[in-house]
Amino acid sequence: MQRSPVYPACQELSGFGHRGATKQSVLLHTAVAARAALYTRIGGLPRSGRAEVSGVRVAVIAGGVGAARFLEGLVSVVPPRDVTVIVNTGDDAEMYGLRVCPDVDIVTYHLAGLADTARGWGLLHDTFHVVEGLRRLGEDAWFNLGDHDLATCLHRTLALRAGRALHEVTAATCAALGVEARVLPMTDDAVATRLLTDAGTLPFQEYFVHRRTEPEVRAVEYAGADRARPAPGALEALADADRVCIAPSNPVLSIAPVLAVPGYRDALQAALSAGQAGGARVVAVSPIIAGQAVKGPAVRLLASLGYEPTALGVARIYQGLCGTFVLDRADAALAPEVERLGMRVVVTDTLMRGRFEKARLAAAALGLE
């Protein structure tokens, strides 16, 4: 595959494993590289928590904790107002009579700086008096929701019953929590991820939380997706973005439900075509490192569904949807095979241990074209 020439400004990103860029992206590369050099010198982000590169509009397809961590890094290198996040709602559920949107909430909480990052879900320092009280009363309260998390769900449920759309409620929640990025549910319509397992057909939360992903999965369906419509503004955000990122999320449980809604797959393909000269307007980050998922059942699930449970297997799922694929250094040997799929490859450290690693990975994804 013919490579585009590497310009000097891009070579400053050698620590990110960049393999090439087009002339049009030199200015962006220079800015991102300068920030990366700054981070290296000071050992992290400035005290403000942000060192932003302005003028780059970014749309992210996201779901789960990996996406939330990636987004924390992204809004430290790009002004949050320039970021639109389109979040999976296939794992939404009704719990205790309330509408729960786990992926929307974990993304929102991380962007607000309120997430319990050690646990990976919920709000920091939350209490669980309501759920504990339900158990004392004999309820099988297997789905943990903190008290303040329950308040979010109660607010959402009341607003939905009053006739507001999910994207409107989400925007109001983000405003109340000080989130400047635009967070959109993938759709206002009902879509449910269901897993066909050796224990029967299970709703997502039954499989993921109650049964702790133990049943063997034979197939996955996204009920209602074929009749759903993208949330207002979502397709426009993808069309207008300078970079579209597929976050390091589970490709089957977090990204596929979004792509199952008519319009999203076409929008990604259109964005990819618009960037064909550089081949990388759409960038995907692998959620798998050295054959292991950082969190969750991605590896086992991919294998049970017949996919290769590696970063290369994820790249094959995204073939035709993205022009660049970000691999961890541990998977550098897979780069030639990924390139044969028609993608450029960036090799970097993708494990997001802290703020610096999150920002560095986001900068690596943005510095591509």
Q: 140-168: per-residue pLDDT in tens?
A: 999 999 999 999 999 999 999 999 999 99
18 pLDDT band, cuts 50/70/90, is very low
- Does residue 134 belong to any structural domain of this protein? no
Mean pLDDT of 239-256: 96
- Does residue 144 belong to any structural domain of this protein? no
Phi, psi of 51 (to 5 degrees): -140, 90
User: Quick one: which of 347, 322, 343 has its CA closest to 333?
Assistant: 347
User: Quick one: which of 160, 167, 220 has its CA closest to 194?
Assistant: 220
Mean pLDDT of 25-54: 44
What is the per-residue pLDDT for 193?
Answer: 98
Phi, psi of 21 (to 5 degrees): -155, 160
Instruction: Count CB neighbours of 155 within 10 A.
Output: 16
What is the per-residue pLDDT for 276?
Answer: 60
What is the per-residue pLDDT for 54?
Answer: 65
How far is it, in rounded angstroms, from Cα 302 to Cα 252?
8
Mean pLDDT of 341-359: 94
The burial class, CB within 10 Å (0-12 / 13-18 / 19+), for 336 is exposed
How far is it, in rounded angstroms, from Cα 334 to Cα 263?
31
* DSSP code, position 255: I
Give the CATH number for residue 12: 3.40.50.10680
Residue 15 has pLDDT above 60, yes or no: no
120 pLDDT band, cuts 50/70/90, is confident
Distance of CA 72 to CAs 44, 109, 111, Å?
14, 10, 6
Q: Which residues pair with 305 in a beta bridge?
A: none
Predicted TM-score (pTM) of the model is 0.86
Q: What is the pLDDT of residues 104-119, one digit of tens each?
A: 999 999 999 999 998 8
What is the domain count for the chain? 1
Q: What is the pLDDT of residues 266-317, one digit of tens each?
A: 999 999 988 764 544 899 999 999 999 988 899 999 999 999 999 999 999 9
- Does residue 167 belong to any structural domain of this protein? no
What is the per-residue pLDDT for 261?
Answer: 98
How far is it, in rounded angstroms, from Cα 135 to Cα 141?
6
How far is it, in rounded angstroms, from Cα 340 to Cα 315?
11
> Which tokens hold the place of 229?
């419509």
Higher-confidence position of 327 and 51: 327
DSSP H or E run through 100: strand 98-100
Beta strand extents in the chain (DSSP E only): 58-62, 83-87, 93-95, 98-100, 182-185, 192-197, 200-203, 217-223, 243-246, 282-285, 288-289, 292-293, 324-328, 344-348
Instruction: Count CB neighbours of 138 within 10 A.
Output: 7
- Does residue 113 belong to any structural domain of this protein? no
- Does residue 120 belong to any structural domain of this protein? no
Residue 55 has pLDDT above 90, yes or no: no
Higher-confidence position of 335 and 50: 335
Mean pLDDT for the chain overall = 87
DSSP 3-state assignment of 141? coil
- Does residue 125 belong to any structural domain of this protein? no
- Does residue 131 belong to any structural domain of this protein? no
User: Quick one: which of 322, 277, 291 has its CA closest to 60?
Assistant: 322
Q: Which domain holds residue 34?
A: 8-89+182-366
What is the per-residue pLDDT for 2?
Answer: 37
- Does residue 72 belong to any structural domain of this protein? yes
